[in-house]
C-alpha cells in the first residue's frame, strides 16, 4: 500500500495499514443514525452527512495524526443533495491515495420505512409532491450504484436498535476478528417474505414437514424432538452434506474477493420447523472454520419493533 501523497513533509503519522474507514450509507429511515452511534461506541470517530468532496481530506487528517484515532466513519446519503453526485469520484480519489475502506449500506422494506416516517413525522428528503412512497422509490434509484459496491448490507426491517448495534459490533468490533468473514445464517418462512439482505437462499420445503405431526406441530425447530424428526430422513442428511461441501468450497472465494459478511437464508413454509433445524445444523457444521458464524431465527418472534 502506498503512502498518502498529500501528507505534509516531515509530518509523523500512522501507517495506512493501521487506518480503518467505514463509509455508511443507505435509505433514509433505515437506521444510519443508530449505526453511527454503534460505531462511536466501538471507538470510531464519526462524521454525519460529510460532503463527498471532503472525504480524502478527512482521511488525510487521520493519516497525519500521530497518536490520534485510527478508526473513522462517515455518512454519505441523499441529504447531501447535489454533493452526493460526487460520491463515486470521492471514493476513487481515496483509493488513488492508497486508503482502503469498507461500505456499510442500510436498507429496509418500503412499508417499514413508511411506518417509521409516520411515527417520527419527519419529511423524506425526496418526498416532494409525491409523498413518502415516491421519495423512497426515488432514493432507491439514486443509491443503487453505491449499494452495489457495499461490503456489508443490513436489512433493518425486523431489527430493534439493540439488534442493529449488536450486528454492527460483530462486523466492526475488533480488528483481528473482523478480518474474518462474518457468516449470518438466518432461518425464515416464505409466507412472511424473503429476507431482503440474503446473499444465498436455500429452500427446504421439500423436506418432511413436522407441522403435520400432531405431537410436534406446536413446537418449533429448537425442540429436540422436532430436530430429531427432521434429521432422521436420509434426504435431510444428504442435503446437509451437499450444502456443507458447497459452502466450504465457496466461502474462501468470497474471502478472496474481499467480502466482509455473507447472509445464508434457509427457508421453509412458516419459518418455525424445518428451516430452524437446518439453519442450526448448518451453523454447527461451519463453526470452528476460518470465518465467524452467527445464527438467527427470523420468524420465531425474535424480530421485535423496527430499528
Given CATH 3.40.50.300, say whether it is the number of domain 16-178: yes
Q: What percent of the chain has pLDDT over 90?
A: 31
Cell numbers found for residue 297: 431465527
Cell numbers found for residue 157: 426491517
Residue 91 to residue 80: CA distance in whole angstroms: 15
| pLDDT value, residue 68 | 57
CA angle 141, 147, 150 (to 5 degrees): 175
> Taking all residues of the chain, what is their mean pLDDT, rounded to a whole number?
81
- The stretches of the chain forming alpha helices (DSSP H) are 32-41, 55-64, 87-96, 110-120, 131-148, 161-172, 175-178, 224-231, 234-257, 274-286
Beta strands across the sheet bearing 261-268: 200-203, 261-268, 182-189, 292-297
Interval 82-88 mean pLDDT: 70
Q: What is the pLDDT of residues 121-166, one digit of tens each?
A: 666 666 655 577 778 888 888 888 888 888 899 999 888 888 888 8
Sign of the alpha-carbon dihedral angle for 41, 42, 47, 50: negative
Checking phi first, is residue 26 left (phi over 0); if not, alpha (psi -120 to 50) or beta?
Answer: left
| pLDDT value, residue 267 | 96
DSSP state of 173: S
* Domain residue spans of the chain: 16-178, 182-302
Model pTM score? 0.56
Of residues 66 and 254, more confidently modeled: 254
Q: What is the pLDDT of residues 154-212, one digit of tens each?
A: 999 888 888 888 888 888 876 444 457 889 999 999 999 998 888 999 999 999 999 99
The torsion angles phi and psi of 186, rounded to 5 degrees, stand at -125, 125
Q: What is the pLDDT of residues 100-119, one digit of tens each?
A: 888 999 998 888 888 887 77
Of residues 55 and 66, more confidently modeled: 55
Amino acid at each position: 500500500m502506498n503512502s498518502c501523497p498529500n501528507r505534509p513533509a516531515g509530518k509523523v503519522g500512522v501507517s495506512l495499514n493501521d487506518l480503518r474507514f467505514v463509509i455508511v450509507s443507505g435509505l433514509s429511515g433505515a437506521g444510519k443514525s443508530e449505526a453511527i452511534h454503534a460505531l462511536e461506541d466501538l471507538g470510531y470517530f464519526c462524521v454525519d452527512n460529510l460532503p463527498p468532496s471532503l472525504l480524502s481530506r478527512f482521511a488525510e487528517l487521520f493519516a497525519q495524526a500521530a497518536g490520534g484515532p485510527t478508526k473513522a466513519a462517515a455518512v454519505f446519503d441523499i441529504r447531501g443533495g447535489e454533493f452526493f453526485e460526487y460520491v463515486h469520484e470521492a471514493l476513487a480519489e481515496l483509493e488513488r491515495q492508497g486508503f482502503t475502506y469498507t461500505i456499510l449500506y442500510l436498507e429496509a422494506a418500503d412499508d417499514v420505512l413508511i411506518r417509521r416516517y409516520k411515527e417520527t413525522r419527519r419529511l423524506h428528503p425526496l418526498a416532494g409532491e409525491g409523498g413518502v412512497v415516491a421519495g423512497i422509490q426515488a432514493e432507491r434509484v439514486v443509491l443503487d450504484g453505491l449499494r452495489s459496491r457495499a461490503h456489508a448490507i443490513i436489512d433493518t426491517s425486523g431489527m430493534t436498535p439493540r439488534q442493529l448495534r449488536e450486528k454492527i459490533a460483530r462486523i466492526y468490533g475488533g480488528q483481528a476478528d473482523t478480518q474474518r468473514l462474518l457468516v449470518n445464517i438466518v432461518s425464515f418462512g416464505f409466507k412472511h417474505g424473503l429476507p431482503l439482505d440474503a446473499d444465498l437462499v436455500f429452500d427446504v420445503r421439500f423436506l418432511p414437514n413436522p407441522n403435520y405431526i400432531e405431537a410436534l406441530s406446536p413446537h418449533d425447530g429448537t425442540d429436540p424432538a422436532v430436530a430429531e424428526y427432521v434429521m432422521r430422513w436420509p434426504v435431510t442428511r444428504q442435503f446437509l452434506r451437499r450444502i456443507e461441501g458447497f459452502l466450504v468450497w465457496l466461502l474462501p472465494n468470497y474471502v478472496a474477493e474481499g467480502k466482509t459478511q455473507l447472509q445464508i437464508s434457509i427457508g421453509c413454509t412458516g419459518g418455525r420447523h424445518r428451516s430452524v433445524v437446518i439453519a442450526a445444523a448448518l451453523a454447527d457444521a461451519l463453526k470452528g472454520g476460518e470465518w465467524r458464524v452467527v445464527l438467527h431465527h427470523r420468524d420465531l418472534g425474535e424480530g421485535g419493533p423496527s430499528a
